[in-house]
Amino acid sequence: MIRLLFTIIAGVLLGLVVHLVSVLALPRIATQDAYSRLTPMTKLNAVSQLPPADPGNTLMPFLDPAFAVAVCRYDLTTGPIKLTVPVSQAYTSVSFYTRNEVAYYAINDRSAGKKVIELDLMTEAQHNDLPEDEEITAADRLIIDSPTATGLIVLKALAPEPGLMPQAQTSLAASSCSEQTDQPAKQAEAPRAKR
C-alpha cells in the first residue's frame, strides 16, 4: 500500500517536470503559431498586406478589425533590413516579433516623431560590425536589434471609421521593407574612415 502511494507521489513529481518542460518547449514545437500561419501568404523581406479582418477570415484570432495590417516576414542572414512606413492620418504603429512571437519592440507614429517611420533592423552581430562613423551619420535613423535572425514585422494603420479603411490601406501600401542595397558602398567607405 505504502509502495503504491510512493509510486503516485513519484509520478506527480515527475509530472511537474513534464509540465515545466512541455510549457517551455511549446513555443518551439507549435506548428500553428502566427509565423507558420503567415508564411504561405507573405513574401520574404517584402511587405504583404493581410486581408481585412472579417468573420470569414480565420487566419489569426483576435485581430482588430479597425486596422489595416501588413506584414514583413524577415530573414536577416543575408544582411540588415531597411524599413520605411509612411504615417497614416490617424494612427500608425510598427511591431517587431521574433520567430516565436515574442513582441520585442513596438513603436507608434508619435514616438517616431516624423512623417515617415524609418528603421534599420539587424542582428546584434551586424550592429557590432557597423563602422563607427556610419553610426554617427545614421544617428537620425533608428537601429533595432533583432534577437533572432528571422521574425515578423507587423505594420498597422488605424481606420477610425470604416469609411477610412481604403485610406489606411493605401498608406500601408506605400511602405517598404527590403534588404539594404547600399552594402557595397558602405564597405568602400570603410577604408576612408581609417585615415
- Residue ranges that bind another protein, judged by CB under 8 A: 3-4, 7-8, 10-19, 21-24, 26-27, 30, 32-34, 36-37, 53-58, 60-66, 90-91, 93, 95-97, 100-108, 110-111, 147, 152, 154, 156, 158-162
**Smallest separation, CB 133 to another protein (Å):** 29
Q: Which is nearer to another protein, 58 or 128 (CB)?
A: 58
Report CA-CA distances (Å) from 31 to 37, 102, 118.
9, 16, 32
Q: Percent helix, strand, coil in the chain (nearest 5)?
A: 40, 30, 30
C-beta closer to another protein: residue 76 or 112? 112
Nearest to 102 by CA among 177, 38, 59, 154: 154
Min CB(171)–another protein separation in Å? 16
Bridge partners for 92 per DSSP = 157
Q: How far is the CB of 100 from another protein (least distance, A)?
A: 6
CB 47 within 8 A of CB 72: yes
Residue closer to another protein, measured from CB, 1 or 136: 1
Q: Please, what is the Cα angle at 95 between 93 and 100, to 5 degrees? A: 160
Return d(Cα 69, Cα 157) in angstroms, integer. 7
Identity of the residue, 124 or 161, whose beta carbon is nearer to another protein in the bound complex: 161
Nearest-approach distance from CB 69 to another protein, in angstroms: 9
